[in-house]
Chains A and B, each alone.
Chain A
Amino acid sequence: MSLQQAAGRVRSRSHAGYVAYLVHRLSGLALAVFLPFHFFVLGNALNGAAGLDDFLLWAANPWVKLGEWLLVSALALHMAGGIRVLAIEFLPWSERQKTYIMLCIAFAIAAGLLFLLAARHG
Chain B
Amino acid sequence: MAEFLTVDIWRGGAEGQLQRFDVPRSDNQTVLDVVTHVQKVLEPSLAYRFACRVGMCGSCAMMVNGKARWTCRTHVKKVAADGRLTLEPLANLPRIRDLVADLAPFFDKWQAAGGQFKPQAELGDDFAIVPPSGAARRQADEAIECIGCAVCYASCDVVAGQPDYLGPAALNRAWTLMNDGRDGAQDERLKAVSGAGGCQNCHTQQGCRDACPKGLNPTRSIAGLKRMSLMALIEGRL
Please list the residues of chain A having a beta carbon within 8 angstroms of any beta carbon in chain B: 2, 4-9, 11-13, 15-18, 21, 85, 88-90, 93, 97
Contacts and interface: CB of A to CB of B under 8 A. Distances in A.
A93 to B, nearest CB: 4
B67 A12 contact: yes
A5 B65 contact: yes
A20 B211 CA distance: 17
B88 to A, nearest CB: 8
Contact of A12 (B204, B207, B220, B223): B207
Nearest to A91: B227
B223 A4 contact: no
B203 interface: yes
Given A2-B86, A15-B210, A17-B209, A93 B224 contact: yes
A90 B227 contact: yes
5 contacts: A11-B66, A15-B206, A17-B219, A88-B219, A90-B230
Nearest to A97: B206
B39 interface: no
Contact of B65 (A8, A16, A90): A8
Nearest to A14: B210
Interface of B: 8, 18, 63-68, 84, 86, 155, 157, 203-207, 209-211, 217, 219-220, 223-224, 226-227, 230
A12 B155 contact: yes
Contacts of A13: 157, 205, 207
Given A12-B155, A17-B219, A93-B223, A7 B206 contact: no
Of the listed residues A7, A12, A88, A89, the one surrounded by the most CB atoms of chain B closer than 10 A to its CB is A12
A88 B204 contact: yes
Task: Provide the main secondary structure of the chain B interface.
Answer: mixed
Contacts of B84: 4
A11 B67 contact: yes
Given A12-B207, A15-B206, 5 more contacts: A2-B8, A8-B64, A21-B206, A85-B204, A88-B223
Contacts of A5: 65-66, 86
A8 B67 contact: yes
Nearest to A5: B66
Contact of A21 (B204, B209, B224, B230): B204
A17 B67 contact: no
5 tightest A-B CB contacts, nearest first: A8-B66, A17-B206, A12-B67, A8-B65, A93-B220
Contacts of B224: 93
B158 to A, nearest CB: 10
Given A5-B66, A89-B226, A21 B205 contact: yes
Nearest to B202: A89
A18 B206 contact: yes
B130 to A, nearest CB: 21
Given A15-B210, A17-B210, A90-B230, A9 B66 contact: yes
A18 B205 contact: yes
Nearest to B84: A4
B227 A89 contact: yes
A25 to B, nearest CB: 8
Contacts of B155: 12
B223 A89 contact: yes
